[in-house]
Amino acid sequence: MGETFPMIGGVSEYSYTKNSTYQKQASNAVKEMIDEAVVESLDAGSTSTKVSIADLGCSVGPNTFFTVQNLIEAVQKKRPSETLEFQVFFNDHSSNDFNTLFSTLPPERQYHAAAVPGSFHGRLFPRSSITVAHSSHALQWLSKQPQGAPNEGRVHNRGAPEDVVKSYSDQYEKDLSCFMRARAEEIVKGGVLVLVVPGTPDGVSHSDHPAGVMFSYFGHSLMELANEGVVDKEKIDKFNLPIYAPAMGEMKRVIENNGCFSIEKMELTDPMSKVDGPIDVANLIMHMRAGLEGIFSAHFGDSVVEKMFAKISDKAQEISHFFESGFSKSTQLLVVLKRK
């Protein structure tokens, strides 16, 4: 199992629970597409009224609860004449704050809830026991830091040398292959696997999504701290943020190599299509902090990370200008697969 850096648990100011509306908006942008795709594709379990749904990389809610409710409604739309019984498995690393997840479960839920701890790069469920599996904003996490040449003051593959970029894509393919192999065993014939991941349009460099831009500001801010003598430059060179946004072609290749699923839908979408007005950068920084503070702190220590976020916040206006200058918005990849 790889290293794990859970989202910030609990319900405090910097918690994921309080800072996940960005992910919610991004999910809303594909909600109807998922709904339609599940209704069209699902072709499983007609001999049983029991439907098992898994959300892989669920974090601590509330987004996972909306997602699961959408999936349940889609399945009910597909099989309207039956009284179905739903069991929902919320999965994340065992260090995830499941206590908070359980204490915020919707009281009026119409399903049996269960939590499954463990890495989704390995097996989590018995063979052929899952009807619909879903993973949103989770598969971009690599199971470990890509190991390559020093990354020259960067913390990511944006603008990095060729061999750094390659070590990222190699690790992603390895991880995704493990993920697909496990899901192929767990999902029933005719069952559906829905993936929502940050994606990069084919032929475009890995820099063109808001997260990529943000990551380069993380690097800039750390380098400023290095110049001020707060942190060693060597320490920055050794750090590669284990997050990757694949091109569509990369994703497709791994799925086809696996061979157990047919591709029902695969398209790049705009995660902010349901949002009016410009991106709220201060808010976006808070969101990234909820998700990323843990991994930066483990490497650089709390006090450096505190200063890094302060520097990034100072650059909010500059970042806003960058976002307004316009670049590819198709940065969220939606993939719907059916188990053959």
Query: In the complex, which residues of this chain contact a second copy (CB under 8 A)?
Result: 49-50, 85-87, 89, 94-95, 97-99, 102-103, 105, 112-118, 123-127, 129
Query: Which CB sits closer to a second copy, 126 or 249?
Result: 126
Q: How far is the CB of 91 from a second copy (least distance, A)?
A: 9
User: Which residues does residue 87 pair with via DSSP β-bridges, in sequence order?
Assistant: 52, 112
Provide the total of helices (H) and of strands (E) in the chain, helices listed first.
10, 7
Shortest CB 96 distance to a second copy, Å: 8
CA nearest to 68, candidates 142, 134, 160: 134
Q: Least distance in Å: CB of 106 to a second copy?
A: 12
Pick from 155, 294, 303, 279: which is nearest to 217 by CA?
A: 155
CB of 58 to a second copy, least distance (A): 13
Q: CB 133 → a second copy: shortest distance, Å?
A: 14
- Helix or strand run (H / E) with residue 165: helix 162-186
Task: Give dist(CA 146, CA 156) in Å, integer.
Answer: 10
Which is closer to a second copy, CB of 131 or CB of 151?
131
Q: Count CA within 13 A, CB hemisphere, residue 236.
A: 24
Contact status, residue 14 vs residue 293, Cβ threshold 8 Å: yes
Which residues on adjacent β-strands are paired with residue 267? 334
| Cα–Cα nearest to 261, from 175, 338, 183, 192 | 338
Chain CA centroid to CA 207, Å: 17
Between 94 and 328, whose beta carbon lies closer to a second copy? 94
Using the minimum distance from each CB to a second copy, give the nearer residue, 86 or 309.
86
CA 10 to chain CA centroid, Å, is 20
89 or 309: whose CB is closer to a second copy?
89
Q: In terms of CB distance, is 97 or 175 closer to a second copy?
A: 97
Q: Which segments of 199-238 are extended strands (E)?
A: none
Shortest Å, Cβ 115 to a second copy: 5
